[in-house]
A and B are shown apart, each in its own frame.
Chain A
Amino acid sequence: MALFGKSKYWPLGFDIFGKKDEIVIKEAVESNLGETDGSGEKQEKAEDVSLRCKGCGKEIKKSEAGRYRICPDCGRYFRLGAKERIYLTADKGSFVEFDADMTAANPLDFPDYENKIAAMQSKTGIKDAVVTGRCKIGGYDCIIGAMDSSFIMASMGSVVGEKIARAFEYASENKLPVVLFAASGGARMQEGIISLMQMAKTSAAAAKHSEAGQLYISVLTDPTTGGVTASFAMLGDIIISEPKALVGFAGRRVIEGTIKQKLPDDFQTAEFQLEHGFVDLIVERENMAAKLADLIGMHYSKEGDRL
């Protein structure tokens, strides 16, 4: 696309197909993948921490939840960190991260925002609330992004918006499908109006990708709410959700305060969204990578050409 030449958004010296950079990035990322738990905290290898299940309330050892982080008692999912998610989805050794060093600035001079970001970075081991990159899923090349709810509730500020927009633009240019795992509490309050504009920016990038005839699969995970629901998360050609994920626009307390009544327990769940027609299908975590590969494969001929 002439409009969005690589030079503008992919500054010289950062050619992600360049062999040297690729290897460096790959090693750095691979060594990090799968090293975080659902809360995003870095774990010591020997330590087997306890997790409390949101479904049954029981405390279980992390090792009992297995690699998919599922409660052995009630089957409820624990939240996954962005890199854990990619580790479970991408073909082994295929992930190359984009924009790994992009970090938040403080456009409104919001008090203490820099310190908050620094504290979250050291707690979670990631730079902001989304990790994006290129990978293979079931052998198919694609662009992947995963949000991480342990980073300020995966709120969308400039870094999330920019990385998502670049992911779409890169995918459009290279005719690749995009798979995004959404999770978010909404807009990044500390970036004010700039965070609101990320909704328009990511939606416009999704629209451009769509106009280019390319596939976008959105996967909704617990929780997907607010400005992310009201932008790219709801714009997939195919929208998948994990079981029992919270998916909605307005917060439960805000709605209850408005209508002055309690909402039913199943309000704004993945199952509720399926019933109301806003989700195509619900896919269990252990089947997600295979289902994504199937769906991407539907867009290619037997010879491997894009249909």
Chain B
Amino acid sequence: MKAYDKVKIARHLSRPTALDYFNYCFDDFTELHGDRLFYDDGAIVGGLAKLGGRPVTLIGIQKGRDTKENLKRNFGQASPEGYRKALRLMKQAEKFGRPVICFVNTGGAYPGMGAEERGQGEAIAKNLFELSKLKTPVISIIIGEGGSGGALALAVADRVWMLENSVYAVLSPEGFASILWKDGKRAEEAAEIMKITAHDLYDLGIVEKVIDEVPGGCHENFEFTANLIKHSLEEELPQLMAMSKDELLEKRYKRYRGFGVYNE
């Protein structure tokens, strides 16, 4: 399968969303709203739930399935308030010793006027800064599109996993082709050389696990992939929870510190 075919599956309108996983993989999900500063960004959802009896904090970037829902969700493109809501819930999780599980699915942070006026860059930067030292385990799962800084703002974690047909990149293949070749139509070609598929990123050491989907994509069999996610979390979380805070943070720092290839 070509990389761009995976981009199409990752963007499929029927692809399961963050809230689908919240409701299927966890018990007693209660949504919590707002950044306590400006407003409630519908592109970011979050709240409390239980996994095998253990309380967890869930945060996700939510896409809509139709136009009406997408207006509410802004097509899964978060504003600064969304990232600040996410940060509020992360700090709350830290206070109460709950692990944080993020479900990432965004083409990128919203490039709007208000988003710039209210500090999109600062909001993303602050999340990277705070997540790097958040004293509780964090697992991030790329479930569809992992678009640039807007995705990374929820993906500085102890473990980063990707669904088999999700993609994660510095920029959309369209944007990449447009910047490098001044031709957005060369997106398929860009997708091939960008190394954006789950298996490419696993090989590069960017993610620790690739979670299977049935042929055609997880919208064809949601339960199959959702069960794999649930079991993976049930296996991984107790190990992360057992680590001392110092060890956890040291390993998280080293995870990101090690990324980079250069000659000297």
Chain A residues at the B interface, C-beta cutoff of 8 Å: 3, 99, 101-108, 110-111, 158-159, 161-162, 165, 187, 189, 191-201, 203-208, 210-211, 226-227, 229-235, 248-251, 254-255, 258-259, 263, 267-268, 276-278
What's the Cα separation between A108 and B152 when bound, in Å? 19
Identity of the chain B residue whose Cβ is nearest the Cβ of A231 in the assembled complex: B125
Choose one: B113, B120, B149, B195; the contact of A108 (CB below 8 Å).
Answer: B195
Q: Are B171 and A200 in contact (CB under 8 A)?
A: no
Knowing that A106-B261, A235-B125, A276-B118 touch, tell me 15 more A-B residue pairs with CB under 8 angstroms.
A3-B253, A101-B264, A103-B263, A158-B261, A161-B259, A189-B170, A193-B201, A199-B152, A200-B256, A230-B120, A230-B149, A232-B125, A249-B120, A255-B112, A277-B119
The number of A-B residue pairs with CB atoms under 8 Å apart is 183
Judge whether B169 is part of the interface by a CB distance below 8 angstroms. yes
Q: Is the CB of A102 within 8 A of B262?
A: yes
Query: B163 near A: Cβ within 8 Å?
Result: no
B116 touches A250 (CB 8 A): yes
Instruction: Write the nearest CB–CB distance from B188 to chain A, whole angstroms.
Output: 16
Interface string of B122-134 (1 = CB under 8 A from A): 1011101110110
**Contact at A105–B119, with CB atoms within 8 Å?**
no
* Chain B contacts for A204, CB-based, 8 A: 128-129, 132-133, 156, 252-253, 256-257
| 7 closest residue pairs by CB, A with B | A250-B111, A229-B121, A204-B132, A203-B128, A249-B121, A158-B260, A197-B259
Contacts of A3 in B (CB 8 A): 250, 253
Shortest Cβ gap from B166 to chain A (Å): 13
Query: Which residue in chain A gives the minimum CB-CB distance to B125?
Result: A234
Contacts of A195 in B (CB 8 A): 170
Interface residues of B in 13-62 (CB under 8 A from A): none
B152 near A196: Cβ-Cβ < 8 Å: yes
Does B235 sit within 8 A of A, measured CB to CB?
no
Q: How many residues of B contact A (CB 8 A)?
A: 52
A200 to B129, CA, bound (A): 8
Given contacts A108-B194, A187-B171, contact A194 B264 (CB under 8 A): no
Residues of B within 8 A of A230 (CB): 109, 120-122, 124-125, 128, 149, 153
- Whole-angstrom distance between the Cβ of B100 and the nearest chain A Cβ: 16
Q: Which of A108, A162, A233 contacts B193 (CB 8 A)?
A: A108
B71 at the interface (CB under 8 A from A): no
- For the complex formed, measure the closest distance between the CB of A244 and the CB atoms of chain B, giving whole angstroms: 17
List residues of chain A with CB within 8 A of the CB of B260: 158-159, 161-162, 194, 197-198, 201
Residues of B within 8 A of A191 (CB): 170, 261
> Which of chain B's residues have a CB closer than 8 A to the CB of A189?
170-171, 176, 179-180
Q: Name the residue on A nearest B150 (C-beta).
A: A230
Give the CA-CA distance A197 to B148 in the complex, in Å: 10
Q: Which residues of A contact B171 (CB under 8 A)?
A: 187, 189
Residues of A within 8 A of B103 (CB): none
Query: Which residues of the other chain, B, contact A234 by a CB distance below 8 angstroms?
Result: 119, 121-122, 125-126
A207 to B134, CA, bound (A): 11
